[in-house]
Copies of this chain bind each other. A is one copy, B any other.
Amino acid sequence: MTSTHPLYDVLHGRRDVRGQFTGEPLDDDVLHRVLSAAHAAPSVGLSQPWDFVLVRDAGTRRAFHDHVRTERDVFAATLTGDERQRFSRIKVDGVLESTLSVVVTYDADRGGPSVLGRHAIADAGLYSACLAIQNLWLAATAEGLGVGWVSFYREPFVRDLLGIPETVRPVAWLCLGPVTHLEDVPDLERHGWRVRRPLADAVHSERWPTASA
């Protein structure tokens, strides 16, 4: 792997961070590079349907964190036995400890009435917002920062909290900031929640495999 592009170290070293945020300040130039990376993502019909709300306010973050804790309990209640035990050891967000939050949204009205390439696939614009998120995540990793995607929340709650209009959809609540380190192994694998599947199981030739494959 030594002769491959340094991008691969970033891709494979990237982690979903919950527990390693330091809360140290983030340089404006670095934040600008990371957001510029997100903004350089491909988008259907060049619609660039994403927005980035930077949340530093302690009150807002506390309110979100409290909501996440509630949703965490909702999920925990669906689990039983071993699974419930394992889940209880897993930290699901670093909202309070990270330097700031970046809320990524999707605006279906962006790009005019005729979004080239979206007429047949309504979700194509939503996909674009996700591509921006991954760009942001990789750039942050290259900068030595951590990113944690929090998904224990209800969209209407985030919409209300940040004044996001009905026509705009919150896609991700990302925690961002300096970290002590990135773990070698994903949290959920370290805590015995799941083991990553081999790539070979995900790659198929020409067609979807038949049941026997």
Tell me the A residues contacting B by CB distance below 8 Å.
4-8, 10-12, 14, 16, 33, 35-37, 39-42, 44-48, 50-57, 60, 71, 74-75, 78-79, 83, 87, 90, 92, 105, 111, 114, 116-121, 123-124, 126-127, 130-131, 133-135, 137-139, 142-143, 149, 151-155, 162-165, 168, 171-172, 186, 188-189, 193-194, 196-197, 199, 202-208, 210
Contacts and interface: CB of A to CB of B under 8 A. Distances in A.
- Looking at chain A's contact residues, is the secondary structure mostly helix, strand, loop, or mixed? mixed
Contacts of A79: 114
A161 to B, nearest CB: 8
A12 B35 contact: no
A52 B209 CA distance: 11
Nearest to A49: B202
9 contacts: A5-B6, A8-B37, A11-B138, A35-B203, A39-B202, A41-B134, A46-B189, A46-B194, A51-B208
A114 B164 contact: no
B126 A11 contact: no
